Amino acid sequence: MAHYKPPPKGVQAIFRAIYTQAEECRETFMDTLREFFDHLADEWDAQQPPDREEKLRDLLTPFRPLLQEARGVLEIGTGTGALIPLLREAAPTARILSVDLSHRMLQYARRRCPWASLLQADARHLPLTPQAVDLVVCHNAFPHFQDKPATLMELARVLAEGGHLLILHDLGRERVNAIHQGVGGVIGNDLLPSGGELGRMLTEAGLSPIHIRDDPEQYWGVGQKAISPPR
Ligand SMILES: C[S@@+](CC[C@H](N)C(=O)[O-])C[C@H]1O[C@@H](n2cnc3c(N)ncnc32)[C@H](O)[C@@H]1O
């Protein structure tokens, strides 16, 4: 086995400084993203189509069996909480925890659902124990994850073996990407990957089998967390 020789002290200090600077840049970027969504919160519901509830119900339809069976559901990027009543309806006996980066978005979610469990957190660093839930639902938030593979790994970490992760969008990929590019600024590069690329990322996060829908109407990906073989 090759003997590991640590780099000289001066080189270690340079690595540390680069790492610290990269972390500071990341934190500054996340603050800017959070501020963007805090501002958007006041307008978000008014921007949605009048038949949104019906569309969201339709979007959840193929996943009703998973929701019905779920004991613990984690919703990532809840925004103003539009999906929460529909998750409650579809998973009447489950514990449901809804997470968002933006405090202002969560204030609207609280008004909509005074009974909901809400948590302000970054999806990449969840303050949850491993295997805490058996269903993770992420609706209209995936493009905003700055490190998508790392965030999917984090979502897979909190998912119980045999549990499912759903990445859902009520619009097709091209529409979503055109909207974000049109808005520009901090979300201008927040794009959905092709269905094939999403499938690769879900597989690398330890999920299998994977099912993908990537057509002009909807975009979604579903993966199941593998069950470890008995020792
Ligand atoms: C486009 S909005 C969608 C909100 C809601 N899902 C809906 O469809 O009405 C995206 C939401 O994801 C949240 N978000 C973005 N990045 C996040 C992250 N890293 N962790 C948690 N939430 C995040 C934003 O704060 C925002 O509320």
Residue 164's CATH number:
3.40.50.150
Taking the CA of residue 151 as reference, the ligand 1 atom at the shortest distance is 19
Residue 196 belongs to some domain of the structure:
yes
Tell me how far apart the alpha carbons of residues 7 and 19 are, in angstroms, rounded to a whole number.
Answer: 15
Tell me how far apart the alpha carbons of residues 186 and 36 are, in angstroms, rounded to a whole number.
Answer: 8
Residue 59 belongs to some domain of the structure:
yes
Boundaries of domain holding 146? 45-225
Taking the CA of residue 44 as reference, the ligand 1 atom at the shortest distance is 9
Q: Say what the pTM is.
A: 0.91
For residue 14, the CA-to-ligand 1 centroid distance in Å is 35
Atom 27 of ligand 1, residue of closest alpha carbon: 79
The response to whether residue 87 sits with its C-beta less than 6 Å from ligand 1 reads no
| pLDDT tens-digit map of 206-224 | 999 999 999 999 999 999 9
For residue 148, the CA-to-ligand 1 centroid distance in Å is 14
Atom 11 of ligand 1, residue of closest alpha carbon: 77
For 20: left if phi > 0, alpha if psi spans -120 to 50, otherwise beta; the answer is alpha
pLDDT at residue 153 tops 70: yes
Q: What is the pLDDT of residue 105?
A: 98
- Count CA within 13 A, CB hemisphere, residue 93: 5
Q: How many domains does the chain have?
A: 1
28 versus 122: the higher-pLDDT residue is 122
